[in-house]
Structure 1
Amino acid sequence: MDRAFQVLEILARDGHAGVSDIAEEMGVHKSTVFRLLGSLVSRDMVHQNNDRGKYQLGFGILRLATSIPARLSIVREARPFLESLAEECKETVNLAVLRSNYAVNVDQAMGPSTLATHDWVGGLTPLHATSSGKVLLAALSADERDRIFREAGLLARTPRTITKREDLERQLIEVAHNGYAEAREELEIGLNAIAVPLYNHMAAVVGAVSISGPAFRFDPKTIPGLIGTLREAGTRISAKMGYTHR
């Protein structure tokens, strides 16, 4: 069973592979691979490409995969990583999703030395004024952003909130390029935050995980290793949601 899963993982990673390639990577004889592939083909989990003789994932995998997302809870999958981040960074960690033109925090973990006691869970926060919101906006199409900005507007929450569309769009390009977003006292004076996207099995952004803290001590770009730690957590949560980066 373990070897069959290993074959599936190789095909998922590479898209397709021949018997010799699979045997070499697994360190087994080609006859073993033939037997494994035969069993997987009979269950429609693997399909042989007649033109090149290589194997790729079959429709049986797709049928199984489509039944998984409905059973996955992003809150359940992310919770251990939120707690780990809060413990390591000693700040507040939030998990947010896009709902009705806002970023909604659906879970939160508090660091051991966190001064703030505000409970963000369930609260609607403006997309343009939060790090999580910017991550979610950056993943949308221009038409979808147009609709949200028309309906929700770009209201100032503090003097630092970005309220000009062109300025925000420029920042969203950077967010998409860098893989993270920051908000510096844009939602509340004295509060900084940084967030990274979470992906599902279709490589679509389904949420964001953020770290926030008092501006006097929390400046993400000056804390060694913070961005890398947050990115790693985002990658691991995404993997739990079925995302495979290629």
Structure 2
Amino acid sequence: MAPEENTITATRTSLRIVEALKRLDGAGLTTVANDLGIAKSTVHNHLQTLVDEGYITNEGGVYRVGLRFLELGEYKRNRMDIYETARPEVASLAEKTGEMANAAVEEHGQGVYITRAEGTEAVTVDTYAGKRVKLHCTALGKTILAELPEERVDEILDTHGLPARTENTITDRAELKAELDDVRERGYAYDREERLPGLRCVAAPVVPEGGDIVAALSVSGPTTRIEGDLFHEEIPELLRSAANVVEINLVYS
């Protein structure tokens, strides 16, 4: 194997180890090696290098993802115009609805939450800034997909598939594309318990005049509250208004 290939393989192994530590919520050497099917000696070398470089920590033999990644993520996020522009509107949506409000962007075919705010009645869910989600099973994601060229949508679906998250997840490509047609027609998307049971969500796109989609805004909450006119009229109108403010600010501020 050429030296360049060795380097690429080593880099990929380090990244797999970091992802495993996140997924396992911290683990020891043997657990990581068994989980990935990699020799303990190899895993040990990578773990030690990552510790030495400050990317993971070793807490009594339990390795965990370090805060160095937070520094890198914050650096990236703070250089995004959409983050600073969307943040006050997300906070306002949370205050007006009392629920959870979010903004997300597309990166490598997945949705990435860049900011969120909790209203007074917001329920605790698994979202946080930096969390990545599949696009087909979220209102944010369907909003983004609806604004992308069809060839890009197909590329994303070919890469990430349509895995079921709940019994309501759309797992058929033709059905999803019909849903995306509806999203384009009405200007916002729904998540009807498609990613998490008991949770509904509405999302609207941020598309500056003459440009492409840069983000999506959403409001989510429990099915016991997000229903009727609130689900079908009030929240969509609030989202479209907030998205319009963000679009104008992106162009003129």
Which TM-score bucket, shorter chain as reference?
Answer: 0.5 to 0.7
Q: In the superposition, relative to structure 1, how do residues 129 and 72 fare at CA in structure 2: closer, same or farther (>3 Å)? A: closer
Measure how far apart 1:167 and its partner are: 0.4
Show the 5 A alignment for 1:1-246.
73-116=81-124, 118-219=126-227, 221-223=229-231, 225-242=234-251
The answer to whether the Cα contact below 8 Å between 1:220 and 1:226 also exists between their aligned partners in 2 is no
| Percentage of identical aligned residues | 35
2:100/2:123 contact within 8 Å kept:
no
Aligned equivalents of 1:97 and 1:188: distance in 2?
A: 20
Q: Deviations over 1:210-231 (max 9, x none)?
A: 0001112112644552221111
CA distance in 2, matches of 1:193, 1:179: 14
Give the structure with higher Rg (CA): 1
CA distance in 1, matches of 2:108, 2:186: 26
Q: Which runs of 5+ in 1 are unaligned?
A: 1-70
Distance 2:191 2:228 in 1: 10
Matched residue SS, 2:102 = strand
Query: In the TM superposition, what is the alpha-carbon distance from 1:117 to its structure 2 partner?
Result: 5.5
Contact kept? 1:90, 1:111, Cα under 8 Å: yes
Deviation, 1:201, is: 5.0
**How far is the alpha carbon of 1:119 from its aligned partner?**
3.9
CA displacement, residues 76-100 of structure 1 (integer Å, 9 cap, x when unaligned): 1111111111001000000000011
1:146 alignment partner AA: D
**Other-structure match for 1:67:** none
Q: In proportion to residue count, which structure has more helix?
A: 2
The count of residues paired between Structure 1 and Structure 2 equals 174
The residue aligned with 2:28 is none
Deviation string 1:78-137 (CA, Å, 9 cap, x unpaired) is: 111111110010000000000111110000011012131544211111100000000110
Deviations 1:183-226 (A, max 9, x none): 01000101110000002353211100000011121126445522
TM-score (norm 1): 0.67
Consecutive unaligned residues of structure 2, counting only runs of 5 or more, are 1-78
Q: Distance in 2 between matches of 1:84 and 1:204?
A: 24
Q: In structure 1, what is the Cα distance between the partners aligned to 2:178 and 2:125?
A: 33
Considering only aligned residues, what root-mean-square deviation do their CA atoms show, in Å? 1.9
Runs of 4+ in 1 over 2 A off after TM superposition: 117-120, 200-203, 219-226
Local SS of the residue matching 2:244: helix
Q: Distance in 1 between matches of 2:125 and 2:109?
A: 26
